[in-house]
Amino acid sequence: MTNRLLAILIPANPYQYSDFSEEKDRSDIGAHMRHAELSRGVYWNVPASGRKHTWFDRVRTAYFVSPSTEAPHRCNEVVYKGEILSIQHYMTKDNMRARFPVDEVGLLYGTRRKVLEIESEGGYSWSRWPQVEKYGFIFLKVRSIRLLAQRHEISEFRKALWTEDGPVRICRKYVIVYDEFFE
């Protein structure tokens, strides 16, 4: 792996929730953009994949992947970009509750806050997500989320942390890629 800056591709998939789902706001990128503008940033969380996160200090950009329903682009497209201010890994909800900055709880938008809250008070149990009890969550503090001037297919990004550094074909939780500095 070279010393190039890295970025993270994150799925923002509103279609994974029904229209009546309380959780639909977790994938609403527009709502996260507005919240970040009003609150000096917003947290986006993704389930961790393993415990080694040596890439944290090299990732400065988040690109948000949206599925396209319009022909001929029925593949995943990168439509939004944001600046990462910080990245934290929490193995358990207790670990998060002990370490999460109290003055930044307001940066958790909508139902994302339920990941931090106690279950008896309406919070989510981490066990509802596969593998989260084993690896925890990664929380990214993001600001300046903006629409890119042009859409980019995920295949324009190259994987950075795998032995095969080919193009990205799918983005389920997140993918670490070389930053292409798209605007």
In angstroms, the CA 125 to CA 117 distance is: 9
Residue 69 in this model has a pLDDT that exceeds 70:
no
Token pair listed for 159: 């994987």
Under DSSP, is residue 19 helix (H, G, I), strand (E, B) or coil?
coil
Phi, psi of 114 (to 5 degrees): -70, -15
Q: What is the pLDDT at residue 105?
A: 95
Residue 71 has pLDDT above 50, yes or no: no
Domain boundaries defined on the chain: 6-178
In the predicted model, what is the mean pLDDT of residues 78-106? 94
pLDDT: which is higher, 24 or 110: 110
pLDDT band at 10 (very low <50, low <70, confident <90, very high): very high
Q: Distance between CA 173 and CA 175 in Å, rounded?
A: 7
Domain boundaries 6-178, corresponding CATH code: 2.30.130
Average the pLDDT over each of 72-76, 86-90, 104-108, 112-116 and give the range with the smallest value: 72-76
pTM for the structure as a whole: 0.87
What mean pLDDT, rounded, does the chain reach? 86
- For 141-161, what is the mean pLDDT? 92
CA separation for the pair 117, 93 (Å, rounded): 9
Q: What's the whole-number mean pLDDT along residues 40-55?
A: 89
